[in-house]
Amino acid sequence: MDFHVSEEDRALRSAVRAISARYGNEYYTKKAEAREFTEELWLELGAHGYIGINVPEEYGGGGAGLCELAAVVEETGAAGCPLLLLLVASAISGEVIAEFGSPEQKAQWLPRLASGQGRVVFAITEPDAGSNAHEISTTARRDGDAWVLNGTKHYISGVDVADAVLVVARTGTDPRTGGAALSLFVVDTDHPGLVAQPLPVSVTLPERQFTLFFDDVRVPADRLIGEEGAGFTQVFHGLNPERVTGAALLVGIGRYALERAADYANQRAVWGTPIGAHQGVAHALAAARIEVEAAALMTARAAWLHDRRQPAGEAANMAKYLAAEAALSALDAAIQCHGGNGVAAEYGLIPLWGLARVLRIAPVNREMILNYVAQHSLGLPRSY
């Protein structure tokens, strides 16, 4: 892995940061408080080719990899405008459709994903299974030239601004393991039988959450992604990028919080001395900076491994773990540094804290990451 920062990477980051900064944290905070999607920023980034930077060039994308997508995601966060939907529309759906979709599916969905004009979100989580794919109860049954889906999905982001949902469903039993055989389907968000019910959450985010109900949703056979029963391979090809871009978003949020806090600590004076001169303030910010930098390195390594088709599960999980902890440390230190202003709406830190706190839980919580590392990295026995 080369730690040299290329001119191309600098130019990419600078361009994305410049566009995102024109909107700024005030724009993001207003959108979050109104529960309105950051449509204008999304479309402008898409028009410049950044939303679909990882989509193959023949479908209108940038032809780059997860390293470049992670850079785009990080810079939106560093500008105070983190685009959470990039984690599902670009990192999961874009990667899965590009890797496993048929030529017709790629031609239908990838150009719209690349331009930012279209969005395909992701539905795996269920009320009784969480993200445990082995326990998924949503089914897809073959009926002639169609598939019929039934079941419920929970905490699905961005359905209201998406064209379609990439749905994980049980299509049988794996004869080798006896567990669920999974398959992926692209279902239009306005398809008959699909009901999206808003799921109220207290965290202020531009991206709304939904519970999806599939009641005999009948889709053509050509909506199946790849082969029937190949869902586990397809899902994890998307989940690692989701975790990497989630980590990148958190790194960006951490950078933004520390930049704001450093500015404030240099300007705010008490008894004639900038508060940043006091170690009680400075050390908390410095420790958070170290954590954010460490998380950025692990995130870069995970993206690098994925782009080279090397095993990236361990690195992706570790990156997501480190970045969530680092972002929350940075935000906590920044809020404390600001004193009462840390919770003032004009400083925009609380919505970012809420997002970072959500990302400590999702798309995989810290406890399941620790389980993964204990079992796969240390060889310890499974506890569940």
For the chain, what is the largest distance between any 2 Cα atoms, rounded to a whole number of angstroms?
A: 79
Instruction: Name the residue among 284, 253, 217, 267 with its Cα closest to residue 354.
Output: 253
Residue 355 in domain: yes
Dist CA 327 CA 287 (whole Å)? 12
* Structure confidence by residue, pLDDT tens digits, 318-338: 999 999 999 999 999 999 999
CATH code for the domain of 257:
1.20.140.10
242 is catalytic: yes
Predicted local distance difference test score (pLDDT) of residue 333 = 98
Dist CA 48 CA 43 (whole Å)? 9
- Given a contact cutoff of 8 angstroms between Cβ atoms, the answer to whether 357 and 203 are in contact is yes
SS3 317: helix
Please state, rounded to an integer, the average pLDDT across all residues of the chain.
96
CATH code for the domain of 220:
2.40.110.10
From the list 242, 293, 314, 325, the catalytic residue is 242
Residues 149, 161: one domain?
A: yes
Dist CA 247 CA 91 (whole Å)? 12
CATH code for the domain of 26:
1.10.540.10
SS3 299: helix
Neighbours of 203 (CB within 10 A): 13
Predicted local distance difference test score (pLDDT) of residue 131 = 65
Q: Is the peptide bond before 363 cis (omega within 30 degrees of 0)?
A: yes
Q: Which of 229, 248, 267 is the C-terminal boundary of a domain?
A: 229
Residues 369, 254: one domain?
A: yes
* Structure confidence by residue, pLDDT tens digits, 178-218: 778 999 999 999 999 999 999 999 999 999 999 999 999 99
- Given a contact cutoff of 8 angstroms between Cβ atoms, the answer to whether 72 and 116 are in contact is no
Per-residue pLDDT of the chain (384 residues; tens, 9 = 90+): 888 889 999 999 999 999 999 999 999 999 999 999 999 999 999 999 999 999 999 999 999 999 999 999 999 999 999 999 999 999 999 999 999 999 999 999 999 999 999 999 999 999 888 667 778 999 999 999 999 999 999 999 999 999 999 999 999 988 887 778 999 999 999 999 999 999 999 999 999 999 999 999 999 999 999 999 999 999 989 999 999 999 999 999 999 999 999 999 999 999 999 999 999 999 999 999 999 999 999 999 999 999 999 999 999 999 999 999 999 999 999 999 999 999 999 999 999 999 999 999 999 999 999 999 999 999 999 987
- Given a contact cutoff of 8 angstroms between Cβ atoms, the answer to whether 307 and 240 are in contact is no
Q: Which of 97, 119, 141 is the C-terminal boundary of a domain?
A: 119
Number of domains observed in the structure of the chain: 3
Q: Could you tell me whether strands 224-225 and 164-173 are parallel, antiparallel, or unpaired per DSSP bridges?
A: unpaired
Residues 98, 135: one domain?
A: no
Residues 266, 160: one domain?
A: no
* Structure confidence by residue, pLDDT tens digits, 220-241: 999 999 999 999 999 989 999 9
Percent of the chain whose predicted confidence (pLDDT) is above 90 = 92
* Containing structural domain, residue 171: 121-229
DSSP 227-293: STT-HHHHHHHHHHHHHHHHHHHHHHHHHHHHHHHHHHHHH-EETTEEGGGSHHHHHHHHHHHHHHH
Residues 138, 243: one domain?
A: no
Predicted local distance difference test score (pLDDT) of residue 63 = 97
Residues 169, 262: one domain?
A: no
Residue showing tokens 């970072």? 356
Residue 382 in domain: no
Q: Which of 119, 136, 170 is the C-terminal boundary of a domain?
A: 119
Predicted local distance difference test score (pLDDT) of residue 178 = 76
Predicted local distance difference test score (pLDDT) of residue 1 = 80
